[in-house]
Amino acid sequence: MKILRYILSFLFVLCIGCQSIKKDRKVAIILDESFVEMFTGKKYNLKELSKEDINKIDLLFDEKVKNTVLRKLDITDVDQFKRKYFRQYLCYENEEGDKIVYVNGFCEVPTFFKEGDYKKLNWKKEMFDPSGGGNCYWSAEINLTKNSLPSILVNEEE
């Protein structure tokens, strides 16, 4: 009986651990350095994001979204914001040594004409820079070193 209890306890802890490790399916961490130059116009060193960094990003988004962005995006709460938008995180170190995260947000994965056929963007590995598209597309730059998210820029309609 004790062994069964230990096994069940172990399985319970394992399941809880798996759930906490499970990533947000709408978030991708981009690890291709070429996109840093594409979005900043400069060659910065790519940085990795820790679990603590991701938590900090979430807290900054929660605060900023509650205070300003919800009106622009027709969103009523932070959870709805996170469910609606795919988010790509590109982390690099700027010239001051600050850890910066460029965030690309979009409500649907875009399709491009590529190699003679229409294909969906491999959004977990490739970034894109949309023009227009209205509130389906937005971007932000987070300074993790200074714990700031100065603004979220929502695209205009085409």
Q: Please tell me what DSSP assigns to residue 33.
A: T
Q: Please tell me what DSSP assigns to residue 156.
A: P
What per-residue confidence (pLDDT) applies to 69? Answer: 64
Rounded to whole angstroms, how far apart are CA atoms 59 and 154?
A: 20
Is-contact 147 100, C-beta < 8 A? no
| Residue in the block written with tokens 């850890």 | 99
Domains of the chain: 25-154 (3.10.450)
- Residue 77 structure tokens: 């709460």
Return per-residue pLDDT of the chain as tens, 158 residues: 555 454 445 444 444 444 433 457 899 999 999 999 999 999 999 999 999 999 999 899 888 777 666 666 777 777 888 888 899 999 999 999 999 999 999 999 988 888 889 999 999 999 988 876 777 888 999 999 999 988 788 877 65
Task: Please state the separation of Cα 158 from the chain's center in Å.
Answer: 24
Which positions ≥6 away from 4 have C-beta within 8 Å?
none
Is-contact 77 62, C-beta < 8 A? no
Cα separation of the two ends of the chain: 67
* Tens-digit pLDDT profile for residues 86-125: 999 999 999 999 999 999 999 999 888 888 899 999 999 9
Rounded to whole angstroms, how far apart are CA atoms 135 and 154?
A: 6
What per-residue confidence (pLDDT) applies to 4? Answer: 45
- pTM, 2 dp: 0.78
CA pseudo-torsion sign 15, 20, 138, 35: negative
What per-residue confidence (pLDDT) applies to 15? Answer: 46
The backbone region for 55, taken as left when phi is positive above 0, alpha when psi lies in -120 to 50, beta otherwise, is alpha
What per-residue confidence (pLDDT) applies to 157? Answer: 65
What per-residue confidence (pLDDT) applies to 50? Answer: 95
